[in-house]
Amino acid sequence: MRGSSLRMTGKIRRKASYISWMRPQDILIPLPAGLCCKPGGFHIDPVRPVERAVITHGHSDHARPGHGAVLATQETLDMMRLRYGDNFARTTQAIRYGEEIQLGDVTIKFHPAGHVLGSAQIAVSCKDLCIVASGDYKDAIDPTCTPFEVVPCDVFITEATFGLPVFRHGNAADEVKKLLASVALFPERAHLVGAYSLGKAQRVIALLREQGYDAPVYLHGAMEAITRYYESRGVALGELRLVRGMKKADLAGTITLAPPQATSDIWTRRFPDPVTAFASGWMRVRARARQRGVELPLVISDHADWDGLTATIEATGAGEVWVTHGQEDALVHWCKARGLAARPLDLVGYGDEEEHEVIAADEAEA
């Protein structure tokens, strides 16, 4: 089934029912509400309320409230419940990695995406055609979630958050060593690490523990619930304490994790001469780091870097690539230079979680 009929550009093909001649766009099609699977009757990561939603992971731009039925991993469902309350959807159904479910005329199967706890790629198959919607993913090792798995497919739908060849994330452990070296050099200062609350923060803590750092790690109040949830799922993070109520002098020589926005507001005044760090793939680009007033940029990303994106595309064996959000142009160009059919999906509503994390009002002073 992978003949010319699969090409996005192939325009004139006898209009037949999808049962006999299935094209990728007959299975999944980008609509304003998100990626829509008509034969299955659901949307993937819809940005507007829909009847049936299949959700890749718990980040707020992918997992939104107000849908009828939601299918996702148990972790993703739990995270949505934590954020939106018990009534975030009418009904929910949990699915495990590797599990297959028939929805209408298609079969869907979840595979680990390595992005955050519970994150999944969703393989949608109809007859012989398989499309993988990978959501956000990374191919780097992360002690806090199940490793990414390559899923062979015909069409691979990929993000492109770091879709420029300047984004090379390197080894996250080295970045954490950089942080620890700074803590050792400035024992009288507090180190404040901006990190996205869901996933990044826990990964940074786990990486610190891997480096043998066993002092308590301090948390901004906005991170408490999700971090405790990680622990409840078996992710060991060592001793964690809340910053709330700590004396300024006692925070000297400590490491605190906080949502990125908090590291640049008055909340930081409670720390002694804080060193502002930020754990993000964006920190690879100096102008980006300077713009945020970061003093210690740590290149630690929950998204695949350029090498990861391109290696993954190759490994899936897909002949066609759809690019969702990020730096689409470069990645589409790269695919085409390799003879792969590729196009941007121009989906709106997904983006850079780190840049947009909102701290709930009652947590802002936490």
Partner 1 sequence: MNRFAELLDRLAYEPGRNNKLRLITAYFRDTPDPDRGYALAALTGALSFKHAKPGLIRDMIMDRTDPVLFGLSYDYVGDLSETVALMWSKGGGDYCESLLGHPSPQPSTARGEGAQLSAALSSPDKSKATGKTLSVPSPLGGESQGEGHPAGSASDDRLRTSNLHNNPPPPTLSEVVTTLRTLGKTDLPKQLARWLDELDETGRWALLKLVTGAMRIGISARLAKTAAAALGNKDPHEIELMWPGLAPPYLELFAWLEGRGDKPVNRDPAPFRPVMLAHAIEDADFATLDPADFIAEWKWDGIRVQAVAGRDERGHMQARLYSRTGEDITKSFPDLVPSLHLPGAIDGELLVLREGRVQTFNVLQQRLNRKVVSPKLMKDFPIHLRAYDLLGDDENDLRELPFVERRAHLEAFVKKLRDPRIDLSPTIAFDSWDVLMAARANPANAGAGEDADAVEGVMLKRRDAPYLPGRPKGQWWKWKRDPHIIDAVLMYAQRGHGKRSSYYSDYTFGVWTSGEDGEQLVPVGKAYFGFTDEELLQIDRFVRRNTTEKFGPVRHVVHEPDQGLVLEVAFEGLARSPRHKSGVAMRFPRISRLRWDKPPREADRLETLERMLKDVTAN
Contacts of partner 1 in 86-105 (CB under 8 A): 96-99
Q: Does residue 333 interact with partner 1 by CB under 8 A? A: yes
Distance from CA of residue 189 to its chain's centroid? 31
Q: Quick one: what does residue 136 bind among Zn ion, partner 1, none, with the CB cut-off 5 to 8 Å set by partner type? A: Zn ion
Site for partner 1 in 123-142 (CB under 8 A): 128-130, 139-141
Residue of the chain from 317, 346, 351, 355 that contacts partner 1 (CB under 8 A): 317
Residues 278 and 357 sit within 8 Å (Cβ to Cβ): no
Q: Which of 186, 242, 272, 343 touches partner 1 by CB under 8 A?
A: 186
With CB cut-offs between 5 and 8 Å by kind, which of partner 1, Zn ion, none does residue 59 bind?
Zn ion
- Compute the Cα dihedral for 162, 200, 275, 184 and give only its sign: negative
Examine residue 167 and tell whether it contacts partner 1 (CB under 8 A). Answer: yes
User: Residue 199 CA to chain centroid, in angstroms?
Assistant: 8
3 touches partner 1 by CB under 8 A:
yes
**Smallest separation (angstroms) from partner 1 to the CB of 235:** 6
Nearest-angstrom CA–CA distance, 223 and 128: 44
From the centroid of its chain, how far is CA 15?
37
Q: How far apart, in Å, do the first and last CA atoms of the chain sit?
A: 56
Minimum Å distance from CB 252 to Zn ion?
34
Q: Any residues with CB less than 8 A from the CB of 259 and at least 6 apart, and which?
A: 194, 195, 196, 197, 220, 222, 223, 357, 359
C-beta separation of 224 from 199 below 8 A: no
Q: Name which of Zn ion, partner 1, none residue 10 binds, using a CB cut-off of 5 to 8 Å depending on partner kind.
A: none
Q: Does the footprint of partner 1 cover residue 296 (CB under 8 A)?
A: yes
**Interface stretch with partner 1, choices 16-24, 31-39, 193-201, 302-310 (CB under 8 A):** 302-310
- Count the Cβ atoms, other than its own, within 10 Å of residue 248: 11
Applying CB under 8 A, among 43, 62, 115, 284 the residue interacting with partner 1 is 284
Hey, which residues between 339 and 358 contact Zn ion (CB under 5 A)? Answer: 350
In the complex, the residues that contact Zn ion under the rule CB under 5 A are 59, 136, 350
